Structure 1
């Protein structure tokens, strides 16, 4: 691969990233309805992309499934806690009849999307700006560090059968970048030093989210989940790492004090 071809997607990636940073950062900062709406719209678009990739029986199915996913994401936080999980599961069951094959993938990845988006709303609404900002910084830094290290250093592939472009150099660089983010948040808050290790674990979860989506695209012969974001592909391509990280935070938060207390 020539040097020029290696970086052909850099300019559109940067421009798209700036737009996403402004929109996403503004919604995270504002919280409330702005963040709630943004997460719901992104959830609906990711569900639409997933349904398209799996080859539904009817061409209109991805649209109504995406609308359903977005609506459930928006409404679930207003329900009593005991009713939330059944409501999040309902769109998965409803969508099963839309596919002749790939039902297991639909069920697993649809659950990932909805639970992760619920986690984002719960994290911003319950834990506040600090923790959602930390998680976003960890995922973005690990992705950026991995992208540049992988392109510049190359080397052995991390999991060539599933994600041919992901290298060990990029993976480790992502962990290092996440550790720096954790250290910065530790130094500038009252969180304890365990946040550095937690940041690395969260970066690994984000990388697993990326690999899971890569496996689906490879199975169905799809390069990108869509072309909605120039230089990045689709919303699943861009936010797959967030899905893995958010699911980790949601599950770990149910069983142990995963995030250090910030006083």
Structure 2
């Protein structure tokens, strides 16, 4: 069973969640300006998309990188914002009305309550969103969140790699130029990336003698927010 602990609004570990940060910024922007303009297809207008790119501080999506090759960015080109838009409508934090995104009463309340917003937003995003729908290839990995998270809780406690986690669940990992690379991509896109966006994992990449390696670590937010069945299997870090 996966349980999220209730965190105070000023809990410092909430700062690790890009998803929460993006949601707070969007809700507070709409609150300050009265609304956010929508296109005819009900996406956020470019003026807000550009603002979001500059302010979200999204991992791997810095404003410098995003604007290097594209001076004009649409919502669908900034996937985190597109996902957040869907989540806020689904959770009734905002609604579309006469060509604008406007906060609901609930959305206005949670815009000033990070702890409560995290409790509403992150479990829904991780467990009830179809992550394959916004992944590059649309493939889904075999498995369930209950198993993934309890195993990751142990395997990544002192740090691990993406390949090692894949091997734990599915056997010997395939290298990216073989036929099995799509299975690894699906696991990365639909399990590891949502947990990183939620702020529960952090991934770092480095080149190891010409071979890219992705390291995976639990953030302090994982430890403070989650209560898992495998918690009693965790070992304290050794003191040097």
Task: Give me the TM-score of the superposition, normalised by structure 2.
Answer: 0.30
Larger helix percent: 1
Larger strand percent: 2
Task: Give me the TM-score of the superposition, normalised by structure 1.
Answer: 0.28
- Tell me: higher relative CO, structure 1 or 2? Use CA pairs within 8 A at least 6 residues apart: 2
